[in-house]
Each structure stands twice: as structure tokens, then as C-alpha cells.
Chain A
Amino acid sequence: MKLIWVAVMLLVVSAQSAAEGMSAESNYILRCAGCHRMDGMGAAAAGVPEFPDSIGHIAATEKGRLYLLHVPGVISSSLTDQEIADVLNLILDRWGEGAASYFREDEVQTLRAKPVANVVEYRRALVEELRQQGIRLAEYPW
């Protein structure tokens, strides 16, 4: 009986380790693409803005980088700081148009630790700030 439990626990551990340590590509598909979609075009009607001509502008500002680390799907992703950095950098590679620098693990750690009380209000302030600079972000109903 003990042997069976050991076998079961080994299976559970191996299943967990299989889920962990995925590539940025797999983490994007598993944790982001359901809403942001494989082509990064999101679904504006459901409150998921598109990446192109938007994510690069956001990540090009300090305020925007803090916002990205407090997007609910990012902060609750259960990924490590390095994994989050890798997924964000993959998104920047694909849809950032070279506008922003890459995220590093230590930066992700620092930004996640900073409190953002109301992420929707914070985003509105960011949108307004960019609008005054002549940058319009993708449609977002909130």
C-alpha cells in the first residue's frame, strides 16, 4: 500500500513539474492567449484590448510598466518573476514594435511589490497621460 502511495505522489510531483518550467510561448498560450488570443488582437467587447500599437507605448513609460505588472491576469498568474518577464518580453517581441526595453526579473519583482490601489483608475490616468502626448491606446471599455 505504501508503495502505491509513493507511486501516486511521484506521479503528482511529476505532473506538477511538467506544468512548471514551461517556455514563455507555452505560458503565453496557457495564461494569456485564452483572452488576448494567439494573434494578440484580444476582444475589445469583453474588455481585452489588442496589443499592436498599444503594448509598446504602455511599456515605454515607467507608469505603464507598473500598470502592466498589475494587470489582474499578470499579478495572479502564479508565474515566477523571471517567467513573467519572459512572457512580457515575448509579447513585446511580437507586438511591441521595438518601442520599449525588455523586462528584467528584478524589475518585475520591484514593480509587483509596489501597491496599485485601483488598477482601472490607474489605467485611465495612464491613457490620459499618453493621449496628451499624442498617443492613443487600443480601445478599452473600462
Chain B
Amino acid sequence: MKRFTNILTQSIDRLADSGVRSAARGHGRRSFLEKTSRVLLGAAVVGAVLPFDRRVNAATIRADGDTETLPEDICSYWRHCALDGFLCSTAGGTSSSCPPGSTVSAVAWIGTCTNPDDGKDYLVSYNDCCGKPLVDASTYCYTSQGERPGYRMGLYNDINWCMANTEKGYHCTVAVVVSAAK
């Protein structure tokens, strides 16, 4: 019985030994490192090259896991206090730059908004972006603080500010701080 047990354990030893050696020959540490590095490098390159939405990354993730809308994507954002139009930040651009393929208007409506963070007034230029059609899903805002009827021409903003551009089609509106109001 003892002899049978010895034979059995020796057989298991040999089997395990040959298996491990065989695995070591086929899957050396270098092979493992090489494959792992390929995966990591591939992920790094693909991650950097593939297009991605910065705004999704920039959105705040709340405790419940949902993402919050960026402040500049909503009409009540302080810089939008005198805006009448569609937000470029919801049409493929940002709150201060036109979406690719559109051009910024030469002329603009300028309003005064109070920044709640420092309580100061700022002069904000509402330039239209021109030369592309409207984006149906973009957010429309009509805050127009300080706007006056058409007979007060300089304070009237129901105007297509793309009028001075070669491409006159209205796409969306950006809100750029020009300077502090003083």
C-alpha cells in the first residue's frame, strides 16, 4: 500500500513538474510582460487618438452617479444674462468658441452681467456663430436682460449678428467676457 502511495505521489510530482516546465517554456515572464505592455500601450495610444467629448469628462458626477449639466449649458448661467439665442456650448462648441465649421460674427450685442462669485459687473459680448444650420437639440435662451424695444436701436438684440459676415446663416451664440464694467 505504501509502495502504491509512493508511485502515485511520484507520478503526480512528475506530471506537475512537466506541466509547470512546459508552461514556463511556453509562457515565459518576458512573454507575459510583452503581452501586457502591448495591451497597455495600445490602450494609451487608442485612448489618446480616438475622439472624445471633453464636456462629458468635465461634467460633475453627483453622489447618486448621475452627471450634472455644466453651468454654461444652462440659460441661468450668469454670463448668459442678456442672451437671445441658442447656446453654442450645446451645439458642438463652447460658451466662448464657435463650433467647428462656423465663423464668429463680426458685429455683436454687448450686455452687462453680474458675476455672483465676486459680485462685480462684466461686459459680455454675445457674438453669433455663422454659416451652419441650427442644431435642433441645442438649448435656446431668452434672457435679454437690459434689452429694449426696436426704437431703442442700440439696446435691441433681435438681430441676426451674422449680417456682416459672408455666411449670414445663424448657427448659435457665444458669451465672451470683454472686460469688467467700471
Chain A 71-95 per-residue mask, 1 if CB under 8 angstroms from chain B, else 0: 0110011100000000000000000
Inter-subunit contact A18/B107 (CB<8 Å): no
Other-chain residue from B108, B153, B182 in contact with A26 (beta carbon distance below 8 A): B182
A45 surroundings in chain B (CB, below 8 A): 163-164
Inter-subunit contact B112/A35 (CB<8 Å): no
Chain B 146-169 per-residue mask, 1 if CB under 8 angstroms from chain A, else 0: 100001111100000001100000
A72 surroundings in chain B (CB, below 8 A): 153-154
In the complex, how many residues of chain B place their beta carbon closer than 8 angstroms to a beta carbon of chain A?
Answer: 23
Nearest residue in A to B106 (C-beta to C-beta)? Answer: A43
Nearest residue in B to A72 (C-beta to C-beta)? Answer: B153
Report if A37 contacts B (CB, 8 A).
Answer: yes
Report if B135 contacts A (CB, 8 A).
Answer: no
Other-chain residue from B106, B112, B125, B154 in contact with A46 (beta carbon distance below 8 A): B106
B112 surroundings in chain A (CB, below 8 A): 18-19, 30
Shortest CB-to-CB span from A112 to chain B, Å, is 15
Shortest CB-to-CB span from B98 to chain A, Å, is 17
Report if A29 contacts B (CB, 8 A).
Answer: yes
Inter-subunit contact A37/B106 (CB<8 Å): yes
Inter-subunit contact B121/A35 (CB<8 Å): no
Report if A12 contacts B (CB, 8 A).
Answer: no
Chain B 101-137 per-residue mask, 1 if CB under 8 angstroms from chain A, else 0: 0000011111110100000010101000000000000
B155 surroundings in chain A (CB, below 8 A): 78
Shortest CB-to-CB span from B15 to chain A, Å, is 84
9 A/B residue pairs, CB under 8 Å, sorted by A: A18-B121, A22-B182, A25-B182, A26-B182, A30-B111, A38-B178, A73-B154, A76-B152, A76-B154
